[in-house]
Amino acid sequence: MTILIFNWRDITHPYAGGAEVYLHEMARRWVKRGHIVGWLCAGYNKARKQETIDGIRIMRTGGEFGVYLFAALHYLLRLRSKYDVVIDAENGIPFFTPLYVSVPKLLLIHHIHREVFFKELRFPLSWVAYFLESKLMPLMYRKIRCVTVSKSSKDQIKELRLGGDQIAIIHNGVDSTKYVPGRKSPHPLIVYIGRLRGYKSIDVLIYAMREITKRVPEVELVIGGSGPKQEAWERLTKKLELDQKVKFYGYVAEREKIEIFQKAWVFVNPSFIEGWGVTSIEANACGTPVIASNVPGLRDSVQDGKTGFLFEYGNVDGLVGKLVEILKDEALRTKLGKNGLNWARNFSWDKSADEGLEVLEKIFRR
């Protein structure tokens, strides 16, 4: 089977995140099973137009927003007769492939963005994106099979009347050969790893650190990842006189990310919304408990009171309370860490790849 992926970015993009990891991990396994996989996405500074990564043919065209037009043109002019099935990955807005792709299509949605648009985009782009996702997408994709990553996302998709009863949940996986427990830091270490975008709400964690340092003086916070809000949050850290306690690592490669998870006493994700929160499971696989916002996606990947804790989104005092509880109670940390490790064993990329391939084969043979 030949499979073409339309996705905003590829795994090498400076702002690649969980959405890119999700597709890449499955796609490279499909290649190993003998399938041909292509990937249409946006270019970025100094990126090659084409290259092959893990057997996946990466084709870059257009920029951050232009990719939606140029990907359609690229497909029509060069790829129309070369692929059996198409995966249309919605990262805020889809590629509207029903307008120009005649082969079977699968719509992939990690989560519905709606409110995120108003946090990330300026007027009028925010309203244009809202209209495209909430009004036009349901009209265009009402008969297209849909895949998502969590029950929360499935419920959101149903609200838009997408997918009908044909919404499959395929969870994120974790590589249990790489993400394993390691030696913990000798001093209390809180970590966040992920993109630094507004809706990730890292400012909530930074404000929490102002109080945490008073109650756990030896604590340190490491923030790994890059994004458009990094400079603003670095300024906030200095304003709160926390620059000796909060360290911004910028982009971290996978090996370094694993080492950070292994050393961490607790991983925190204060995001406004997620599809699932793959970093929660990665942290758990390293024996690290997770504290996360009680929001769609994160309430699916974090078992409250078992693998970590949930707190009310944006509630700094609530986050402080949970952090202090974990940092000061070694027995609790150990218990949550062991539970998280067992929880993470339920998820693997091999399993996810098999489930994804099963869905693709069904729509191909339909």
Provide DSSP, 261-286.
HHH-SEEEE--S--SS-HHHHHHHHT
CA gap 32, 306 in Å, rounded:
36
Q: What residues does each domain of the chain span? A: 2-173+348-365, 189-344
CATH, range 2-173+348-365: 3.40.50.2000
Q: Which pLDDT score, from 0 to 100, does residue 366 have?
A: 78
Closest listed residue to residue 307, CA positions, set 272, 280, 346: 280
Confidence check: pLDDT of 123 > 80: yes
φ and ψ at residue 223, rounded to 5 degrees: -115, 110
17-26, 158-167, 191-200, 303-312 — which is least confidently predicted? 158-167
Whether 189-344 and 2-173+348-365 are alike in CATH topology: the answer is yes
Query: What are 273-290's pLDDT values in tens digits?
Result: 999 999 999 999 999 999
Contact (Cβ atoms closer than 8 angstroms) between residue 111 and residue 130: no
CA gap 363, 366 in Å, rounded:
5
- Whether omega for the bond prior to residue 94 falls within 30 degrees of 0, making it cis, is no
CA gap 86, 328 in Å, rounded:
50
Percent of the chain past pLDDT 70, that is, above it, reads 99
Confidence check: pLDDT of 118 > 90: no
The chain-wide mean pLDDT, for the chain, equals: 96
Band of pLDDT at residue 164, cut at 50, 70 and 90: low
Q: Which pLDDT score, from 0 to 100, does residue 157 have?
A: 93
> Rg of the chain's alpha carbons, rounded to an integer?
20
Integer CA distances (angstroms), 338 to 31, 287, 303, 307, 332, in order: 34, 6, 13, 8, 10
Q: Which pLDDT score, from 0 to 100, does residue 114 have?
A: 84
Query: What are 299-332's pLDDT values in tens digits?
Result: 999 999 999 999 999 999 999 999 999 999 999 9
Q: Residue 218 has what DSSP assignment?
A: T
Q: Which pLDDT score, from 0 to 100, does residue 166 have?
A: 80
Helix (H) or strand (E) holding 126: helix 125-131
Instruction: Give domain 189-344's CATH architecture.
Output: 3-Layer(aba) Sandwich (3.40)
pTM, whole model, 2 decimals? 0.92
Arithmetic mean of pLDDT, 221-227? 95
Integer CA distances (angstroms), 134 to 93, 122, 160, in order: 9, 17, 7
Closest listed residue to residue 9, CA positions, set 84, 80, 65, 75: 65
Query: What are 48-97's pLDDT values in tens digits?
Result: 999 999 999 999 999 988 999 999 999 999 999 999 999 999 998 999 99
Q: How many CB atoms lie within 10 A of CB 38?
A: 20
Query: What are 142-161's pLDDT values in tens digits?
Result: 889 999 999 999 999 999 88
Percent of the chain past pLDDT 90, that is, above it, reads 89
